[in-house]
Chains A and B, each alone.
Chain A
Amino acid sequence: MSQPVTIIMIEDDEGHARLIERNIRRSGINNEIVPFTNGTAALSYLFGGDGSGIDHGGRALLILLDLNLPDMTGIDILRRVKENKYLKCAPVVVLTTTDDSQEIKRCYELGCNVYITKPVNYESFANAIRQLGLFFSVIQVPRSAP
């Protein structure tokens, strides 16, 4: 990622967060990663003090989203992000343990850009995250509407 893209990682399990971060770094991604362990904190960061999301106007964001959060489901966050005019362009990567086809379909319908199931097998997991990192290094992320 040539641009200064900020990766917002919303993941309640700190272990998962650490493993994801490590493997992304291993694929050569050095962008800033802002981790959140619950939905409320993530939403207040994303939408700012006034709840409009204007704070991030003009910034390039990429959101890594887990669906199973302690205070809300990731789907709620996904919906709100995609309904916000400043944030809707930010690519959202759903990275979760759920591999239920209904859930996957729903996420794509709501505007998720990539859906990845976390494999339990660590080799597959590490591999998937590294490939995701490689993917991050080539995709273009638009700036939010100013």
Chain B
Amino acid sequence: MTPEATRWRAIGQILLLTAGLIVLTFISAGSVYLVNQAREDARWVVHTVEVENQILLTQLQMRRTESAQRGYISTLLPDFLTDFDTAASALTVDLARLRQLTSDNPVQGHLLAEIIPLSNQRIEEFRKTIALARAEHVDDAARIVREGIGRDAMSHIDDLANEMRVEEDRLFVQRTTSADRSQSLAASMTGVGSGLVVLLAGISIFLVRRSARARDTAEAQLRDNNLNLEATVDARTADLREANDEIQRFAYIVSHDLRSPLVNIMGFTSELDELRTDIFKRIATLATASASPAPVAAGEIEPALEGGDKQLSEGFSEALGFIKSSIAKMDRLITAILNLTREGRREFEPVEIDTRELIENIVATVAHQASEAKAQIRIEPLPAINSDRLALEQIFSNLIDNALKYLKPGVPGDITVRGRTKLGFAIFEIADNGRGIDPKDHQRIFDLFRRAGEQDKPGQGIGLAHVRALVRRLGGTMSVSSELHNGSTFTIALPIGWKAGNRNRDP
């Protein structure tokens, strides 16, 4: 998966979560609002019922006052008087209560404003008739009642009350509908919201599962890749080792088989040399015999060659000499290759080595050469390492030999062996103030049979090639830093501990 896609996926998930949160908040707020609305509606419904109840109660009190008045006038019993007073005071209270309840509604207020004076007027009328009845004018009172004065007022009051009830009924229907709507709205909102949340949760789960699956796939792929990589590295290492072994075998066989013809060349050249000696001896004898008739016993005195014969003999000698010296050189080269390949096949024996002591021993063996070259060799503190003793001896003695061998003529030599450790490696430096090596030859000096600089010292160009091969086999690295005429420093890094991976066993 590309980083771009990963980024978009992350952003998508954040957006999804945000959307879910917003929907939840919206639903919660909406639900709270709608529930409050429903409660308010319900309160208004209750209020309407209360108002209707109060209207009926007021009408009832009105009737009670009327019936108490009628009763008193008919019977003059004082009980009816008490009833009347109670009902009248209750009527006043109920009317006040009704006014209070309908204060929010101007229509009802208006109707009530018409009812109250009428009702007061009726009460006054009742009080008047009762007063007449009390003052023994029952007939007058009965007459007033019979005449039906105030009946119109009474029916008017009833009409008004009915109007109020109708109004309240209308309000009741309206408010009930409103309450129902609020509730159903709240319910549907909750339902839709829940649905949305479930949907978002579903999408989230899907996305999370998809990304988890993608991650698992990526992990598996990574694991596979790692395994493949290890296998590839192993295969390459095996290939390299095989190639290296093949080169070793090749070098061994070639150098070995080259020796056989060399024995012949050398052998028959020597035979030729002997033949030459015999031939020229005979020529000399013949020449001497022809020159002076007095015979000389052959072999007792070497007859000397003269003139052209002598030149011929010297030509022979020179040619044979070149052939022999070339063969000798070839033999040395072949022997060197053989030794190198043999060295490459030797098994290392890792032991704990006090490198300072090892180098002191090497310095002791070259003390004579050092004093001849007027050179001093200084050994600084060196780290101990676990490695092959013989290999280390060969490495250091080669380098110290070289340092002594290639000093600047006429300048007292100063050779220093230094050591330090770094990241599990012991780093040794062999520095000299000798003639130095041109940087263009830095690679060349490590090649077999290659040398650099002035060729005034004996040598075959094997030492450094051998040293580098050994260092590599010990699991280390080697480098040189030098300038012409300014001394050289050879640096060797060797593992402090012995690693099993070192090429201990070569086929």
Contacts and interface: CB of A to CB of B under 8 A. Distances in A.
Interface of A: 13, 15-16, 19, 22, 68, 97-98, 100, 118, 120-123, 125-126
Given A15-B268, A16-B264, A97-B256, A121 B342 contact: no
B266 A13 contact: no
A19 B261 CA distance: 12
Nearest to A98: B256
B105 interface: no
A120 B266 contact: yes
Contact of B257 (A68, A121, A123): A68
B260 interface: yes
Contact of A19 (B257, B259, B267, B331): B267
A121 B259 CA distance: 11
A16 B263 CA distance: 7
Interface residues of B, number: 19
A122 B257 contact: no
A123 to B, nearest CB: 7
B267 A100 contact: no
Interface in B284-327: 327
A65 to B, nearest CB: 15
Given A120-B327, A121-B328, A97 B260 contact: yes
Nearest to A100: B342
Contacts of B261: 13, 15
Contacts of A121: 266, 328, 331
A49 to B, nearest CB: 32
A17 B269 CA distance: 15
A26 B262 CA distance: 22
Contacts of A19: 263-264, 267-268, 271
Interface of B: 256-257, 259-264, 266-271, 327-328, 331, 334, 342
Contact of B264 (A15, A22, A98, A126): A15
B259 A97 contact: yes
Contacts of A15: 261, 263-264, 267-268
A123 B259 contact: no
A123 B270 contact: yes
A68 to B, nearest CB: 7
Nearest to A126: B270
B185 to A, nearest CB: 101
A122 B266 contact: yes
Contacts of B271: 19, 22
A120 B270 contact: no
B260 A125 contact: no
Most chain-B Cβ atoms within 10 A of its Cβ — which of A120, A125, A126?
Answer: A120
A97 B270 CA distance: 18
Contacts of A126: 267, 270
Contacts of B342: 100
B328 A13 contact: no
Nearest to B257: A68
Contacts of A98: 256
